[in-house]
Chains A and B, each alone.
Chain A
């Protein structure tokens, strides 16, 4: 039983510990952390729903190598992301840039909440004006 529990824990939480590559790309932990963060911001374009950190498709492997080399060459995050979008377009970014053509995309969650709120308010206010028709409910006070 103990082993089963241990196995379950390892399978559930062990994933966090997986390195992206076989060996750490950088000796400096800060650089390694930056590398892993950037790798998780870039999309593997053949696998679409994976970042280049998650995927082992050849393209993801090549893009990670490119990322390491750009970092080693002292490029800033901004320059690296620009390098990738120059070649692959905005789609390579997991977080799309805020631009006029993505305003709707970024505003969508807020619009949905506000729209849903308005609809709910209308329905609730209408329903609360209806007479109480439930005979089993004595009602609040005597209305």
Chain B
């Protein structure tokens, strides 16, 4: 009897591994930035190349950084959710327009609505590299102490916002620099 237990046990272990492997999310990579100070950037504003925007302006305040581009299908998909989150006004959303064309990006915002308090134009993708961005859309929550609290990869929904971001807002606001 014992003789059969070993192969059956091994088979059960394999099934277990495969079963949990199925459920694992292999698309989302953990960000090494969580808990670390958000990288500081200074870029031109999307709407006005003569003016710059730096996230230093949000020192002491929590904000959301949303990485988007007009070439990104997932960004179009999440746009409605971003508009709704912006309408609720819990925390300002900063846009990082990544590897995009300025004119196209502006007409996108005109057509679909603008959920961002400001959009920074990262035409060369340098700031995106600093933030470890690898696929838009990505959404970061940055606390008042300037540290990254959360990163969501893939289109955001109002449900994800309520379940994963809203519970962190108290913590995001609480810490003063």
Contact = CB atoms under 8 A, between A and B. Distances in A.
Interface string B23-36: 00000011111000
27 contacts: A45-B29, A45-B134, A45-B135, A46-B134, A58-B99, A58-B125, A59-B125, A59-B135, A62-B99, A62-B126, A62-B128, A62-B129, A63-B129, A66-B126, A85-B32, A87-B32, A87-B129, A87-B130, A87-B131, A88-B32, A88-B132, A88-B134, A89-B29, A89-B30, A89-B31, A89-B132, A91-B29
Interface string B13-47: 00000000000000001111100000000000000
Interface string B103-144: 000000000000000000000111011111011000000000
Contact of B134 (A59, A66, A85, A86): A59
Interface string A63-90: 1001000000000000000000111110
Given A62-B125, A87-B130, 5 more contacts: A45-B134, A45-B135, A63-B129, A87-B129, A89-B30
Interface in A31-63: 45-46, 58-59, 62-63
Contacts, number: 37
B30 A66 contact: no
A86 to B, nearest CB: 6
Q: Which label, helix, strand, loop or mixed, suits the secondary structure of the B interface? A: loop
Interface of B: 29-33, 99, 124-126, 128-132, 134-135
A88 B135 CA distance: 12
A89 B32 contact: yes
A45 B99 CA distance: 16
B141 to A, nearest CB: 18
Contacts of A89: 29-32, 132
